[in-house]
Amino acid sequence: MTKDDQLQATVAFAEINKRADSQPGLIKKINAVIVFDVTKDGKIQKSWTIDGKQGTLYEGKPKEGTTAQVTITVDDNDFVDLASGKANAPSLFAKGKLKVKGNVMLAQKLSTLFKEQSKL
């Protein structure tokens, strides 16, 4: 059995944080507060908040005084595909694997986080 108690999303978010370390303006580019509710076996296991206004990414629901502008519910396995760039948000959405509450248009900003940027 794999490490069941650890979601793959945890690793994926750690990876994004690492990328943000080497590209300090990365999270601020999102310029929105996006919350991820990652599910496994149909139940929400953990949430992560991407606070584009502050430029931070942390586990859990938004902190005091911060409101989520969009909340995305997605299964752990699908999230991994999303984060690695193998699948994109609209396709997952259309397949019903990704549920969005709030400002749907903001969800497209995710590609900034997940796509590999070309370098000058």
User: Which residues of the shown chain bind another protein in the complex (CB under 8 A)?
Assistant: 2, 8, 11-12, 14-15, 18, 21-26, 28-29, 54-55, 67-69, 77, 80-81, 84-91, 93-96, 100-105, 107-108, 111, 115-120
Residues 6+ apart with CB under 8 A from 39: 45, 73, 74, 75, 76
Q: What's the closest the beta carbon of residue 77 comes to another protein, in angstroms?
A: 7
Looking at beta carbons only, is 44 or 105 nearer to another protein? 105
CB of 45 to another protein, least distance (A): 16
Nearer residue to another protein within complex by CB, 65 or 96? 96
Q: C-beta of 6: minimal distance to another protein in Å?
A: 10
- List b or e across 77-102, with b for residues whose CB sees 16 or more CB atoms inside 10 angstroms: ebbbbbbeeebbbeebbeeebbebeb
Q: Count CB atoms within 10 A of the CB of residue 16.
A: 18
